[in-house]
């Protein structure tokens, strides 16, 4: 019997060499470095790795996965160059089904992934929150029979109050900058009967419109302030004074004040030894004023307010006022 050594044929060696080259190319491609991002515990790790698996890359980055932790490849789900791996830490989640609540500690991104991971059969059932809802710590997933009595209601979400400090307002004073607005949620209930009484059990809540907080400014100003028609203004000190009123007819007869200006509403005659000329003041009931005149009868804690008309002067009369000396 003649035995033929087929490996001596040149074409066989060509095939072998091609297979060998192909294998080397494949191994080289498989072990080419990948540049990936790992999102874990609030930080992002950039990694260049030759790892063949996600777990290998995580180990190389020093990321320790606990038994119940999970991970997700963002996007198309392939562990390729440029991939982003998101580590999902395990959190407590409850699952209600057939009158029984079971607690789990699991790290998955969605309700569907949680149910799949813990082996809960939800085929043909109603799931609240929905399967594509994000999994959150402390949530309860309800797997409800399709025959259950399910109802929905709209509920108002009360708005909160956002406080903002304002150094230009007196300390402790509050001012509403913008009113708040309630939000709205659609709440899904599972109706159950306890004896003859029907009781609602909440299974899901979806926020339709978020509440808008009321914005309130709170005065934190260290300076003394008085509220005026122009807003809050700072003052150095306040003093109670005897205030009378006068008109142009009662002036010097020249039509000018003692400082040489034409009098107008806001000009106040003072004792210059008590209140220097040019002093800016705020007088409740009269307004902003400046010391720019004097009079023979105006001495000490006495001031005279210029009025545009005689009737205004008569209406003012003479009274005690608190004069705020502005900064």
Domains and CATH numbers, the chain: 1-88 (3.10.20), 91-147 (3.10.20.30), 154-218 (2.20.230.10), 225-326 (2.40.40.10)
Per-residue model confidence as pLDDT tens digits over 36-58: 999 999 899 999 998 888 899 99
Mean pLDDT of 255-264: 84
* Lowest-confidence region among 24-28, 92-96, 247-251: 24-28
With contact defined as beta carbons under 8 Å apart, do 188 and 128 qualify? yes
Phi/psi-derived region of residue 195, left when phi > 0, alpha when psi is between -120 and 50, beta in every other case: left
Per-residue model confidence as pLDDT tens digits over 278-288: 999 999 999 99
Torsion of CA 2, 7, 11, 15, to 10 degrees: 140
C-alpha to C-alpha distance for 301 and 232, rounded to whole angstroms:
25
Mean pLDDT for the chain overall: 86
- Residue 2 confidence (pLDDT) above 50: no
Per-residue model confidence as pLDDT tens digits over 163-196: 998 888 877 788 899 999 999 999 999 888 888 8
- Residue 327 confidence (pLDDT) above 70: yes
Per-residue model confidence as pLDDT tens digits over 64-119: 989 899 988 887 778 888 889 999 999 999 999 988 999 999 999 999 999 999 99
| Strand partners of residue 37 | 46, 84
What 8-state DSSP symbol labels residue 65? P
Q: What pLDDT band is residue 8 in, cutting at 50, 70 and 90?
A: low
C-alpha to C-alpha distance for 149 and 189, rounded to whole angstroms:
8
- Residue 4 confidence (pLDDT) above 50: no
Pairing of strands 287-293, 280-283: antiparallel
CB neighbourhood size of 172 (10 A): 9
226: burial class by Cβ within 10 Å (0-12, 13-18, 19+)?
Answer: middle
- Residue 29 confidence (pLDDT) above 60: no
* CA 75 and chain centroid, separation: 28
Measured CA distances, 260 to 10, 255, 312 (Å): 122, 9, 24
Nearest Cα residue to 35 out of 27, 45, 25 = 45
pTM for the predicted model, two decimal places: 0.53
Question: Which tokens go with 12?
Answer: 């066989």
Beta-carbon contacts of 255 under 8 Å, excluding residues fewer than 6 positions away, are 248, 262, 263
With contact defined as beta carbons under 8 Å apart, do 252 and 259 qualify? no
With contact defined as beta carbons under 8 Å apart, do 304 and 296 qualify? no
Q: What pLDDT band is residue 20 in, cutting at 50, 70 and 90?
A: low
Higher per-residue confidence, 298 vs 251: 298
- Residue 270 confidence (pLDDT) above 70: yes
Helix, strand, or coil (residue 128) = strand
Measured CA distances, 25 to 21, 29, 229, 315 (Å): 6, 6, 83, 104
Please tell me whether the peptide bond between 129 and the residue prior to it is cis, using omega within 30 degrees of 0.
yes
């Amino acid at each position: 019997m003649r035995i033929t050594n087929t490996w001596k044929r040149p074409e066989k060696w060509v095939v072998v060499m091609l297979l060998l080259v192909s294998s080397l190319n494949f191994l080289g491609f498989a072990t080419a470095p990948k540049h990936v991002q790992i999102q874990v515990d609030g930080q992002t790790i950039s990694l260049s790795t030759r790892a063949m698996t996600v777990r290998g890359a995580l180990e190389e980055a020093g990321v320790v996965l606990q038994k119940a932790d999970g991970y997700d490849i963002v996007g198309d789900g392939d562990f390729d160059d440029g991939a982003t791996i998101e580590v999902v830490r395990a959190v407590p989640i409850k699952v209600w089904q057939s009158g029984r609540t079971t607690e789990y500690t699991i790290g998955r991104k969605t309700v569907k992934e949680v149910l799949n991971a813990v082996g809960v059969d939800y085929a043909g059932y109603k799931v609240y929150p929905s399967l594509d809802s994000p999994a959150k710590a402390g949530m309860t997933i309800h797997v409800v029979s399709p025959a259950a009595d399910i109802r929905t209601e709209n509920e108002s979400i009360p708005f909160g109050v956002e406080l903002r400090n304002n150094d230009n307002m007196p300390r402790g004073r509050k001012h509403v900058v913008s009113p708040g607005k309630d939000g709205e949620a659609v709440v899904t209930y599972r109706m159950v009967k306890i004896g003859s009484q029907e009781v609602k059990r909440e299974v899901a809540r979806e926020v339709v419109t978020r509440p808008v907080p009321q914005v309130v400014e709170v005065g934190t100003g260290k300076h003394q302030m008085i509220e005026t028609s122009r807003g809050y203004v700072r003052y150095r000190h306040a003093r109670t004074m005897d205030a009378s009123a006068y008109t142009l007819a009662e002036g010097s007869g020249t039509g000018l004040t003692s400082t040489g200006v034409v009098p107008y509403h806001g000009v106040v005659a003072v004792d210059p030894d008590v209140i220097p000329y040019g002093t800016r003041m705020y007088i409740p009931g009269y307004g902003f004023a400046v010391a720019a005149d004097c009079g023979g009868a105006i001495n000490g804690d006495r001031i005279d307010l210029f009025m545009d008309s005689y009737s205004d002067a008569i209406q003012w009369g003479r009274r005690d006022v608190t004069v705020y000396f502005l900064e």
